[in-house]
Structure 1
Amino acid sequence: MKETMFTYINEEYKTNKSILSNRKKNLKEFINLAKDKNYDEWVVLATGSSINAIECAKYYVENILEINIEMKMPSVFSNYGKGINENALYLGVTQGGSSYSTIEALKTASKTNADIISLTANLNSSVCDISKVVVDIGCGEEKVGYVTKGFSATVLTFMLMGLELAYESDKINEQTYMDELRKIEQAIEHTDNVIEKTLNWYEENKEELISAKQIACIGYGPGYGVTREADTKITETVRIPMNGHELEEYMHGPYLSLSNKHHIIFIETEGKLEDRQQALRLYLNEYTDHIYKITYKNYKEDRHDLALDISVDELISPLLFVIPIQILSYFLAEDKGNKLSQKIFEDFDDKLKSKI
């Protein structure tokens, strides 16, 4: 049977369990490189879903490792950067290993004495040739262009890089380390249940969602990375105007375009800005009938809500909250008649050289 996005979504539980189990072996070279270094910061170079995944995971890593993580667009870094901090760790993230701009950015950084590593699922790709250490994302090849399990695998792998390095460099003790592993494992255990709940939610709201001409997704903290992936994935598959917003950013201009034609999805994680977002949701509800909420809670406040009924640390929650976005992207595209198995703009990569 031919693979689809949903094939790979259904593999996320098994894939993430494997990544967690094999973390020591998979991250050994990275730990050996980094554990005795005192980096000023980590600089991540990536685009598309790869940078969205890092946006989801960076808050966890910054918190557990007590380090600043800067995310830079590779082409901007290569062409407009003002210098390279040789005491920073540079990380190129590209699932397929062939992103032209990411590879060129790593080449720029490699001209110095800075440490260069890459995160990829293709261990025979061009990005590996310019990296001191290659970290296997651990998802294997996705034969569908709209990545799903690779996204979750990137989020998890990056989190584990932070956790393992924090433990090996004595920034956290063994008890904290074990507690964090348990929280991650418990989150992964919710995967299939989240898939089931999302499928039911989609069926209940399908006709209204199909009618959407424009969608926005709003979130805060780690949930912002989920909204960015919603922007990427829904744009790629459903092919209607789509925007992912950080909560406060939406409140400083984008709300002015609101009309009853807009469908808005809120990502409600259990965090500091939950009440702030609730106030915005109630306000917008007066101007559009199409407000949806994906929440950790076990109850609905509105018929449009997807109540996941999960207890999960906010910093880990993107592992689960991205699943409804992935399912929505696939099924909404298919139900709107978009044939995702048929490639469009077949000459794009050849003419624009976006991939090597």
Structure 2
Amino acid sequence: MAFNPNTTQTVLENIHIQPEILADAFTSRGEIIDPFVAAFTAAPVSRVVFIGSGTSYNVSNLALSLFNRIVKVDATAPYPTEFANYGVGLNPAEADPSSVLCVAISQSGTSISTCDALAVARQKGFRTLVLTCDPDSRAASLADTVVPLLAGDEQTGPETRGYTASVLSVYLWAHATAAATGALTPAEADAAIAEAGDIVDRFQEVIEESEAWYDRNRPGLLHAGRINILGLGIDYGTMLEGTLKVAEMLRVPVIGNLVEEHMHGPTYALRPDHGNLIVGSDEAEFDRIITIRNALREHAPATHVITCHDFEGADERDIVFSVKAGPFLAPLLYTVPFQFLAAKGGKDVHINTNHNPVPIHFGHLEG
């Protein structure tokens, strides 16, 4: 729930416990879905503003895509400070502030920037909701509605199970809300939620295949002079989370970018010892991803695609999950290889991923 510098818990333990955490959360999904749908449908919503920092910002980017594409509502995900100080993510012409729903995501409920943004949202008359593990936190005190983040007590600094529990939560929110508003039929929403249950039931396979992918590609990944992480579409958020995890724990030079934008300049700096990890979303650009993978491999052999989508020419450098998920649910799987690269890679090069080498405490409320 909150970082404990004296914890004996490890990030790898938190990665391995994710099948259990997600199963428990799915079983208790009514606690996640019901208060959110009630808050959303209490009055007309013109815009949903997702707010979060760090890992929660990355979840917010996934959420905005889900709500734009599934619920068919205008959704944004500004950085909390940009929202609070400059109104980023808002429509200046919006006449009715009560039609704006600000959804904060904060595992601990202590993110200073997120709490400040919630306070500003209340001052402006927006409706507020928070997803958090701590119902007694500062963030919870600033929200009209509090939804439990069912991630258990994650005490390590880098978040892993909190991320996947949050991704599952926003996925469930989107489909249940779409059913409530008529954007999906009840049968369509039920099928999507049942798909999540099926994926959760097989999440142990995701864990095992992700760890095996790391183990067989360990030499090239750990000796990379730089790691480039590329994503697109809904997996822009996955790319952001992968970049954050590698920076937090493996602590090597890492760049995150959209797949196509990476072709506009950054490839000038590509070297043979660079690792390239491409999130292979099963969307309109998938064939383009494979073309780019093949081109990058001519210059940097440690180029990998992470996907559920079978494709010709996939080899041991890639991970093609045996568990198949649609594009809206696949982000739940795609972050796990990055978690192993970051946490197990850090351990393999003797980094204590629980230790913060630069203890600057500006991000969270203390005490």
TM-score w.r.t. the length of structure 2 is 0.91
CA distance in 1, matches of 2:168, 2:63: 7
Secondary structure class of the residue paired with 2:77? strand
Over 3 Å off, 4+ runs: 82-85, 297-300, 352-356
CA distance in 2, matches of 1:173, 1:78: 36
Shift of 1:326: 0.8
Alignment of 1:34 onto 2:40 = yes
Q: Which residue of 2 aligns with 1:258?
A: 270
Q: Which residue of 2 aligns with 1:10?
A: 16
Q: Which residue of 1 aligns with 2:353?
A: 340
Q: Which residue of 2 aligns with 1:175?
A: 187
Q: Which residue of 2 aligns with 1:290?
A: 302
AA of the residue aligned to 2:33 = L
Q: Deviations over 1:195-239 (max 9, x none)?
A: 111222222111222211210111211222111111101000011
AA of the residue aligned to 2:329 = I
Change (3 A) 1:314 1:198: same
Shift of 1:354: 4.3
- Of 194, 198, 223, which aligns to 2:206? 194
TM-score w.r.t. the length of structure 1 is 0.93
AA of the residue aligned to 2:245 = K
- Of 78, 81, 86, which aligns to 2:87? 81
Shift of 1:32: 2.2
Shift of 1:111: 0.6
Change (3 A) 1:353 1:293: closer
Structure 1: tracts of 5 or more residues without a match: none
Q: Which residue of 1 aligns with 2:120?
A: 108
CA distance in 2, matches of 1:160, 1:315: 11
- Of 67, 88, 94, which aligns to 1:61? 67
Change (3 A) 1:344 1:177: same
CA distance in 1, matches of 2:232, 2:179: 28
Report if the CA contact (8 A) 2:21-2:165 is conserved: yes
Secondary structure class of the residue paired with 1:118? strand
Q: Which residue of 1 aligns with 2:314?
A: 301
Report if the CA contact (8 A) 1:293-1:305 is conserved: yes
Alignment of 1:204 onto 2:216 = yes
Q: Deviations over 1:120-179 (max 9, x none)?
A: 112111001110001111112211111001000111111111222222333322211221
Alignment of 1:151 onto 2:157 = no
Q: Which residue of 2 aligns with 1:165?
A: 177
Change (3 A) 1:173 1:235: same
Report if the CA contact (8 A) 2:80-2:117 is conserved: yes
Structure 2: tracts of 5 or more residues without a match: 1-6
Q: Deviations over 1:321-348 (max 9, x none)?
A: 11111111111111111112333223x1
Shift of 1:353: 5.5
Alignment of 1:225 onto 2:231 = no
Secondary structure class of the residue paired with 1:28? helix
CA distance in 2, matches of 1:314, 1:127: 31
- Of 66, 72, 78, which aligns to 2:78? 72
AA of the residue aligned to 2:144 = K
CA distance in 2, matches of 1:317, 1:163: 15
Q: Which residue of 1 aligns with 2:137?
A: 125
Shift of 1:31: 2.3
CA distance in 2, matches of 1:170, 1:80: 34
Q: Deviations over 1:309-332 (max 9, x none)?
A: 232101110011111111111111
CA distance in 2, matches of 1:177, 1:68: 19
Map residues 257-276 of structure 1 onto 2, 5 A cutoff. 257-276=269-288
Q: Deviations over 1:1-40 (max 9, x none)?
A: 9321121112222222222222223333332222142211
Report if the CA contact (8 A) 1:13-1:189 is conserved: yes
CA distance in 2, matches of 1:25, 1:209: 40
CA distance in 2, matches of 1:33, 1:354: 27
Cα RMSD between the aligned structures? 1.9
CA distance in 1, matches of 2:32, 2:116: 25
Query: What is the aligned length?
Result: 353
Change (3 A) 1:282 1:354: same
Q: Deviations over 1:23-72 (max 9, x none)?
A: 22333333222214221111111111111122234323322211121011
